[in-house]
């Protein structure tokens, strides 16, 4: 079990891997996206990312609370919510600029409407206000308002999850059951509502938090029950993979992802259990130690998410402009390589930038106690 003051190498590795997958999955000509999780499961990288977000948030809160007290921990997550909201505004602006580029280059693609640029041309001030109040959420920026709300809830949910996990679990399930009705209270300019219904997706975030504060014991992982669960999970996983590859070959309706459909939860849970077994056996840690650059992407999560969203829009646009006939896959593979390489380079630069800032603060204010330096970054 991880120390409360030490980052989980496995979690950072998975966060980095998922950020890379999110980037390539949003490139229409991508080659690698044909082999990512959505191709053989009824869930995708979104479930993984939200679950890991809940896990990391619980780890960060408990570490801060034990080292500095409850109020500094709450204040940190209030600040974190504001940081995510600012990141949302920045990504919304970049998405609008991407739409402007699509229109300027006269590229005919459905993505132009998703960027909200035509709406911005029609009513710039109105759309700007709608974006600021979350009524309009251009393209990939739509996932961040949900995270901003979750960050506000962490200081209330984590302590309760430590004391009464059953109450938190059933409270989250109850909210998920009525998510579609509750979503009607959200500000939205779209008839269908937010792209990610936070009342539904909170279940995945809460499951991540519970996994951190109420971890499965090593004894259970090694038990006969766990072995039977693993066999059942493999059977369900293979059944879903067969159905996805050979029967349900079309994309599922958008509302199933928007409201976190039951089959998505089951599909994710099966994969999560198998991955948990791999983590327990040390396989993921060994892999993460061999791929520190991927771990570093996970540690610079928010910056790399924004960069990945921007890169996917740019690369997708470029791929729509070129045509190599039967060799179009080469262009797609080049786009994948560019997206991955950019994220690896950015994560390395950002890590160095943060370390330089931290050293500058130490020179100005003196050494910071080790118990504070080693906290998790939510």
Q: What is the pLDDT of residue 378?
A: 42
Residues near 90 by Cβ (< 8 Å), separated by ≥ 6? 306
Both tokens assigned to 184: 């009607």
Quickly list H helices, 69-197: 70-104, 111-114, 117-122, 124-132, 144-163, 165-177, 179-182
Rounded (10°) angle between helices 45-68 and 9-25: 140
Residue 323 maps to a domain: yes
Separation CA 229–CA 227 (nearest Å)? 5
Please, is 165 exposed, middle or buried when counting C-beta atoms within 10 Å of its C-beta (0-12, 13-18, 19+)?
A: middle
Q: What is the pLDDT of residue 193?
A: 92
- Domain count along the chain: 1
Q: What is the pLDDT of residue 367?
A: 59
Please, is 4 exposed, middle or buried when counting C-beta atoms within 10 Å of its C-beta (0-12, 13-18, 19+)?
A: middle
Give the range of the structural domain holding residue 240, as residue numbers without chain letter: 9-373
Residue 2 maps to a domain: no
Q: How far is CA 303 from CA 42, 75, 235, 365, in A?
A: 28, 21, 38, 27
> Using an 8 Å Cβ cutoff, are 73 and 61 in contact?
yes
Q: What is the pLDDT of residue 366?
A: 63
Q: Pick the closest to residue 37 from 254, 232, 275, 231 (CA basis).
A: 275
Residue 378 maps to a domain: no
Residue 319 maps to a domain: yes
Residue 168 maps to a domain: yes
Q: What is the pLDDT of residue 145?
A: 96
Residue 3 maps to a domain: no
Separation CA 163–CA 167 (nearest Å)? 9
Separation CA 206–CA 223 (nearest Å)? 26
Residues of the chain with pLDDT under 50: 1-5, 370-378
Q: What is the pLDDT of residue 376?
A: 44
Tell me the pLDDT tens digit for each residue of 146-190: 999 999 999 999 999 999 999 999 999 999 999 999 999 999 999
Residue 344 maps to a domain: yes
Residue 243 maps to a domain: yes
Q: For residue 262, give the H/E element and its range.
A: helix 262-280
Tell me the pLDDT tens digit for each residue of 68-108: 999 999 999 999 999 999 999 999 999 999 899 888 888 87
Please, is 338 exposed, middle or buried when counting C-beta atoms within 10 Å of its C-beta (0-12, 13-18, 19+)?
A: middle
């Amino acid at each position: 079990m991880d120390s409360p003051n030490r980052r989980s190498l496995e979690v950072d590795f998975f966060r980095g891997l998922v950020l890379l997958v999110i980037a390539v999955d949003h490139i229409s000509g991508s080659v690698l996206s044909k082999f990512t999780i959505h191709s053989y499961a009824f869930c995708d990288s979104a479930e993984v990312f939200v679950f890991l977000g809940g896990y990391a948030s619980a780890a960060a809160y408990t570490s801060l609370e034990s080292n500095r007290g409850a109020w500094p921990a709450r204040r940190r997550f209030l600040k974190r919510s504001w940081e995510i909201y600012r990141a949302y505004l920045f990504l919304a602006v970049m998405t609008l600029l991407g739409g402007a580029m699509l229109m300027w280059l006269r590229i005919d693609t459905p993505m132009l409407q998703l960027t909200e640029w035509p709406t911005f041309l029609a009513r710039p001030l109105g759309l700007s206000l709608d974006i600021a109040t979350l009524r309009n959420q251009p393209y990939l920026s739509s996932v961040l308002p949900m995270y901003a709300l979750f960050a506000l809830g962490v200081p209330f949910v984590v302590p309760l999850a430590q004391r009464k996990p059953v109450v938190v679990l059933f409270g989250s399930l109850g909210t998920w059951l009525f998510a579609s009705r509750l979503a009607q209270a959200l500000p939205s300019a779209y008839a269908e509502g937010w792209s990610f219904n936070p009342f539904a997706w909170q279940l995945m975030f809460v499951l991540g938090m519970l996994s951190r504060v109420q971890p499965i014991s090593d004894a259970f992982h090694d038990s006969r029950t766990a072995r039977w669960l693993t066999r059942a999970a493999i059977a369900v996983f293979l059944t879903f993979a067969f159905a996805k590859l050979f029967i349900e070959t079309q994309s599922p309706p958008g509302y199933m992802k928007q409201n976190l459909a039951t089959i998505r939860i089951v599909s994710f849970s099966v994969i999560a259990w198998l991955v948990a077994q791999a983590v327990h056996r040390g396989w993921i840690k060994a892999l993460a130690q061999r791929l520190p650059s991927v771990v570093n992407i996970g540690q610079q999560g928010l910056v790399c998410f924004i960069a990945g969203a921007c890169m996917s829009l740019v690369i997708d646009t470029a791929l729509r402009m070129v045509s190599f006939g039967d060799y179009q896959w080469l262009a797609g593979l080049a786009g994948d390589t560019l997206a991955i390489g950019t994220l690896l380079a950015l994560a390395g630069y950002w890590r160095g930038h943060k370390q330089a800032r931290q050293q500058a603060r130490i020179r100005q204010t003196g050494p910071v106690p080790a118990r504070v330096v080693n906290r998790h970054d939510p």
